[in-house]
Structure 1
Amino acid sequence: MTLRTLLSAVLAATALAGCATPTLRGSGDLGVVIERAAGSLQVVQQQPPASLARVRGLGDLSHASLVYSRDARYVYVFARDGGLSKVDLLTGTLQARVLQAGNSIGGAISSDGRIVAAQNYSPGGVKLFDADTLTLLADIPAQDAAGQSSRVVGLADLPGNRFAFALFDAGEIWLLDAANPCQPAITRYRGIGRQPYDGLASSDGRYYIAGLFGEDGLALLDTWHLDAGVRRILPAYGQGETRLPVYKMPHLRGWSLAGDYAFFPAIGQSQVLVADSRSWQSVAKVPVYGQPVFVMAEPGGRRVWVNFAFPHNDTVQVIDVPSMQVVHTLKPGRSILHMEFTARGDAVWLSSRDDDKVVVIDTRTLAVRTELPAANPSGIFFSWRAGRMGM
C-alpha cells in the first residue's frame, strides 16, 4: 500500500467515524423545535411524539426561523446574529454554517429548492445562497430612491423562483425574480405605507401582504395583476379606538385563511381582524383575551387558534369560524410563543418557553397528549412545510 493510499484510507475512516449514520426512515413525520437560549434545535418525531436529536452551535436563536429543503431532509436556520445554518434532520448534524450578516430575522427558499434567500436588518438587504453549498450567489442592497439603506422584513417565496419582501424604513415592497440567481431582477413598489413590519404570501402564491406598523391597514400586492400596483386593505381598522402599548409585534406569518375569510392579528388591540378573502373588505373584529401574536387556522379551517403577547401569554384561545366567536380558552403553560399543527390537524404543538416544555394537544378533545422537555423553546416547524409556499 502506497503512502498516499494509506493516508486516504485513514482520512476516510476518520470522516466516517465523525458522521452519524441516518436511520432508514422518511422525513414526513419529523419536525424541529427551536431552543432559543441554548442556540440549539431539537429534531422531533410527531407521532408518537418524541425527541430524536439535538443540534447545537446555531448562534443567537432569539428570533430564529427556518425553511425546509424540497425533500424535507434539511432545514436552513436563520439566526438573529446573521448566521445561516444547514442541518440534516436524518443524521441530526450541522452540515454547514455561514455568518452572512450582522442581524438577520428570517428567509425563504425558492420554488425549485435551489436558492436560499436571507433577509437582513443589519446591514439590510437580501442575500441569495446556493442551497447545496451555501455559496453566496447575489447580494442585493435595500436602498430607497435617495440611497438610504433599509431593514428588510417579510421575505416570502412566490411561484417561478420569485421572492417578495418589504423595506421597513423605506415603506416599499420589492419583487425579486431569481430566474438568474447571480443577476436577479428587481421590481420596486414605492410609497406602500409607513413602516411595513412583516409580510406574508397566500398559499397559492397569488397575494403578498405587508402589515403596517406606522399606520392602520395592510398593503396588498396581487401578483396576477402586477401592473395594478399595491393597494391598501383594512385601512380603517383601529380608527377611533385606543391603541394599547405593543409588548410584542404580531406575526403575519401566523395569519390564516379559513373558509372564505382571512384572519389577521391586530396591532395594539385585543382583536382578531377578519376580512373577506376575495374582496379583502372587513367583515368582523373578534374580541380576544389580549394582543394576538399568531392567528393560525387548523388544517380543516373550522377553527382558528390564537396566542398572545405579555402579560397574557399563558393563554391560548380558539375561535369558531362560522360563528366568529371564541369557544375555548386554554392555559397550557407560561409564555406560549408558537403553535404548529400536524399536517392533518389531529394535534397542535405549543412551545412554553418559561416552563421549558412543548405541549402536544389533541385538537378534537383539547386534552394534553404529552409534554416534551425543551430548553426555552420558541418556534416549532414541521416537515409538511417543505411542500408549501410562503412557509
Structure 2
Amino acid sequence: MLNPTLIRWAALLAGLMTGHVLAEPMPNAAELYQQHCLSCHGAQRTGGMGPALLPQSLERLKRSDALKTIRDGRPATQMPGFGTTLEPAALQALVDHLYTPPADTPGWTAEQIRQSRQQTTAPDQLKNKPVFKADPHNLFVVVEGGDHHATILDGDKLTPIHRFATRYALHGGPKFSPDGRYVYFASRDGWISKFDIWNLKTVAEIRAGLNTRNIAVSSDGRYVLAGNYLPQSVVLFDQDLNLLRVYDAQSAEGKISRVSAVYDAAPRKSFIVALKDVPEAWEIPYADDAPPVAKGQVHDHQLGEAVFQPGQFTPITIPLDDILDDFFFDPPYTHLIGASRNGKGQVINLNIRRKIADLDLAGMPHLGSGITWLRDGQPILATPNLKDGQVTVIDMRTWQTIKQIPTLGPGFFMRSHENTPYVWVDSMMSPTGKDTLQIIDKATLEVVKTVRPEPGKTLAHIEFTRDGKYALASLWEQDGALIVFDAATWKEIKRIPMSKPVGKYNVYNKITRSAGTSH
C-alpha cells in the first residue's frame, strides 16, 4: 500500500515545479467517520462492537491520547491503527469530530435497554460454591484500565486467581452483592455487567444508557440502580439485570439534569440520587414494606395526580441549597455530607430532609473518597482534595473543621482500616507528588511517613486486605503493578504486575462497609 503522506508530498512537489499549487481541501470528518468508524462504533457514535465515541464518553480521554489510538490502534482489541492509511490532517479531523456533540442528541429508550440485555451464562451452568480454594471474602477485584481487564486476586496468598476482559473504560467502583458472590461493573458507555466471582464467569449484561456515571446495589441484593449523564435518567434493574423502571432525571420543576451519583443507603433500605444540574437529591425506597409517600414529597410529573402512591421505588425529593457533585454518608446513614465542585459543602439530615450545617471545604473536595474513624471516642471524617494539596478533617458532632493537613498536592483517594492506626493518602494529581503516598496518624493527624517506590510514576488508590495487615497500592502505569506494603512497618512486601490498575476492591471490606473505604 502506498504511503498517503508520500503521495501528498509528491503532488505538492509536482505543483511547485509546474507553478500550479492548489490549496489542500480540508478533510471531511463526517465522511471519514462513515468510512472507517461507523461499522464498529455506530451511525450515531453510540457504540456497537466498539465503545461509544461521544464527548460525554470521552471526557476523561485526552485528545492527544485519542489521536494516538486512532493512529496506532489499541493492542489486544479489534481497533486497528489508521496511521498508514490516513494523513495527519485526516486523523486530527477525526479526533475533532469525536469531541464535537452530534447535531441530534442520541437517545436510549426503555425498549432499547431491554433489547440490549445478554444472558452470557445460563444459571444451570453455575455451581453454588466457589470453584477455587481461596477465602471468597478476602478476594480483591482489580480493575486494569490499561487493557480493559479485571483480575480476581487472592488476598491471603496475594496471587491472581483469574483474569478476564471487561467492557471498555469501567467507570466508578464495582459494587458487590451482600454475600460477596457477585460483582457488578458499569462502563462509561453504559454497559452494566454482572460477574459471578464464585464461578469466575460473566452472567449477564445490559446497557443502561449511553454515558453512565455509576451504579449502586441494594443492601438486600435484589436491585441495581444506574445513574446516567446521557440520556439524563436513572434506571432500575432487578438483581439479574432485567429492567424494572426508567426515571427521567429532572427536578420537581421539570428541569432536565445529569446524574452526579447514585448510592445505596443500607440502613434506610433506599437509594440516594444526586442531580448534577439542579440543587436536588432523591431518596428511592426499595423495601417491600416502604410506607406510602405523600404527593407533596414527590415529582408530580412522575406520579400524576394521585394524593398517595405506594412507597416502594417512589422518588422522594430532597431540596438542597447547592448542587451535589459528590457525597458521603455518616456511619448510621442519617446524614448526607455533600460538596459541589466549587467547594461549597453541606450536611443534609435525611430524616427531616433539609440542610442542618455548612462545611468549610475549600478547593475541590473529593467526598466520594472520604472515610471516617473514631478519635478520642468521637467520630470524624476526612476527605482528600482534587484541587488543593490538603486533607480536611471534620468533627461529625459539630461539623466544624478540626484540621487541614497539608499534602504533596491534589489527591484522589484516601484509605484506612479498622485494624490500623494510620490513613494513607495519595497526591496523584500533583506533577511533583504523584509518585508518593503519605501516611497520617489517626490520633495526632500528622504525616508520619512517606513512601516513594517508583520515582516519577503515579502511585494511588490504597486498599487493605480483610484483616488490615497489608495495604495494596496501584502503580498507575500501563506496565504497572500492585505494590503490597506491610501496613504496620510500611515496608514493601511484593509486586504483582498489572496493566494500569486503576482500582482494587476487597470483597469483605466492601460488603461490611468498612469505615476505611468508600461505599
Q: Same fold (TM over 0.5)?
A: yes
Corresponding residue for residue 11 of structure 1: none
Deviations 1:339-371 (CA, angstroms, capped at 9, x unpaired) = 211232111111112142111111111111111
Q: Does residue 185 in structure 1 map to residue 308 in structure 2?
A: no
Corresponding residue for residue 233 of structure 1: 358
Deviations 1:103-134 (CA, angstroms, capped at 9, x unpaired) = 11211111211111112111122211111x21
Q: Does residue 151 in structure 1 map to residue 258 in structure 2?
A: yes
Corresponding residue for residue 72 of structure 2: none
Contact kept? 1:258, 1:301, Cα under 8 Å: no
In the alignment, residue 448 of structure 2 is paired with which amino acid? Answer: V
Deviation, 1:281, is 1.1
Deviation, 1:142, is 1.3
| Partner secondary structure for residue 65 of structure 1 | coil
Match of 1:331 among 452, 462, 471: 452
In the alignment, residue 313 of structure 1 is paired with which amino acid? Answer: K
Deviation, 1:29, is 1.4
Q: Counterparts of 1:239-278 in structure 2 under 5 Å?
A: 251-259=366-374, 260=378, 261-278=380-397
Corresponding residue for residue 434 of structure 2: 313
Q: Does residue 46 in structure 1 map to residue 155 in structure 2?
A: yes
| Partner secondary structure for residue 332 of structure 1 | coil
Deviation, 1:192, is 2.6
Deviation, 1:258, is 1.8
Deviation, 1:387, is 2.9
> Distance between the aligned counterparts of 2:134 and 2:440, measured in 1?
37
Deviation, 1:25, is 5.2
| Partner secondary structure for residue 244 of structure 2 | strand
Name whichever of 67-76 and 137-146 sits farther off: 137-146
Contact kept? 1:64, 1:379, Cα under 8 Å: no
> Distance between the aligned counterparts of 1:90 and 1:151, measured in 2?
35
Stretches of structure 2 lacking an aligned partner (at least 5 in a row): 1-123, 291-309
Given the two structures, how large is their TM-score scaled by the length of structure 2? 0.65
Q: Does residue 161 in structure 1 map to residue 269 in structure 2?
A: yes
Contact kept? 1:298, 1:305, Cα under 8 Å: no
| Partner secondary structure for residue 155 of structure 1 | strand
Q: Does residue 219 in structure 1 map to residue 349 in structure 2?
A: no
Corresponding residue for residue 358 of structure 1: 482
Contact kept? 1:156, 1:199, Cα under 8 Å: no
Contact kept? 1:297, 1:303, Cα under 8 Å: yes
Corresponding residue for residue 332 of structure 2: 204
Deviation, 1:21, is 8.2
Corresponding residue for residue 142 of structure 1: 249
| Partner secondary structure for residue 236 of structure 2 | strand
Corresponding residue for residue 6 of structure 1: none
Task: Point out 4+ residue stretches in structure 1 off by more than 6 angstroms.
Answer: none
In the alignment, residue 189 of structure 1 is paired with which amino acid? Answer: I
Match of 2:406 among 276, 284, 287: 287
Deviations 1:47-98 (CA, angstroms, capped at 9, x unpaired) = 110111112142322x342111121111001111111001111222211111
In the alignment, residue 244 of structure 2 is paired with which amino acid? Answer: L
Contact kept? 1:213, 1:267, Cα under 8 Å: no
Q: How many residues align?
A: 359
In the alignment, residue 369 of structure 2 is paired with which amino acid? Answer: G
Stretches of structure 1 lacking an aligned partner (at least 5 in a row): 1-14, 244-248
Corresponding residue for residue 109 of structure 1: 217
Corresponding residue for residue 131 of structure 2: 22
Contact kept? 1:173, 1:192, Cα under 8 Å: no
> Distance between the aligned counterparts of 1:271 and 1:25, measured in 2?
39
> Distance between the aligned counterparts of 2:133 and 2:482, measured in 1?
26
> Distance between the aligned counterparts of 2:401 and 2:177, measured in 1?
36
Match of 2:186 among 60, 78, 84: 78
Contact kept? 2:155, 2:466, Cα under 8 Å: no
> Distance between the aligned counterparts of 2:485 and 2:426, measured in 1?
14
Deviations 1:22-43 (CA, angstroms, capped at 9, x unpaired) = 2355411111000113222101
Deviation, 1:269, is 1.4
Contact kept? 2:324, 2:340, Cα under 8 Å: yes
Q: Does residue 369 in structure 1 map to residue 496 in structure 2?
A: no
| Partner secondary structure for residue 315 of structure 2 | strand
Corresponding residue for residue 246 of structure 1: none
In the alignment, residue 276 of structure 2 is paired with which amino acid? Answer: F
> Distance between the aligned counterparts of 1:212 and 1:232, measured in 2?
15
Give the strand-richer structure, 1 or 2.
1
Contact kept? 1:164, 1:208, Cα under 8 Å: no
CA RMSD, Structure 1 to Structure 2 (Å): 2.4
Contact kept? 2:341, 2:365, Cα under 8 Å: no
Contact kept? 1:156, 1:200, Cα under 8 Å: no
> Distance between the aligned counterparts of 1:68 and 1:298, measured in 2?
19
